[in-house]
Amino acid sequence: METSENFAFVGERFPFFKESATKAELQAYADPRASCFHARHALERLVIRLFKVDKSLNQPTVNNLDAYMTEPSFLSLVPQIVWEKAELVRKAGNSAVHG
């Protein structure tokens, strides 16, 4: 698989994230729908990983990305601008799959 220069730095520390992030970047022009799907997948893996490693985050009662992202402990941790961008990725990925 080709590698992404933008996500090369995450390879060693976050290998669970790198594959989807790289696919999202490499397919942005050739297949935007697939790119949105992979971007959302990368986001979901990253957010769920945060909940596993940061014990100050409370597990949501529902197991989906929206529930994780709207969990009050997560909202208080993540800067608003970062959350807004993540929400755009989540919605675009959902539209790519279901739209």
Interval 9-63: pLDDT, tens: 777 777 878 888 889 999 999 999 999 999 999 999 999 999 999 999 999 999 9
Task: Give the separation between CA 65 and CA 81, rounded to whole angstroms.
Answer: 18
Task: Give the separation between CA 8 and CA 53, rounded to whole angstroms.
Answer: 22
Let me know if residue 84 belongs to a domain. yes
- Domain range for 56 is 8-98
Let me know if residue 91 belongs to a domain. yes
Domain count, the chain: 1
Let me know if residue 88 belongs to a domain. yes
What is the number of H-type helices and E-type strands within the chain?
Answer: 5, 0
Interval 56-85: pLDDT, tens: 999 999 999 999 999 999 999 999 999 999
Let me know if residue 3 belongs to a domain. no
Task: Give the separation between CA 70 and CA 76, rounded to whole angstroms.
Answer: 10
pLDDT at 85: 96
Task: Give the separation between CA 97 and CA 85, rounded to whole angstroms.
Answer: 19
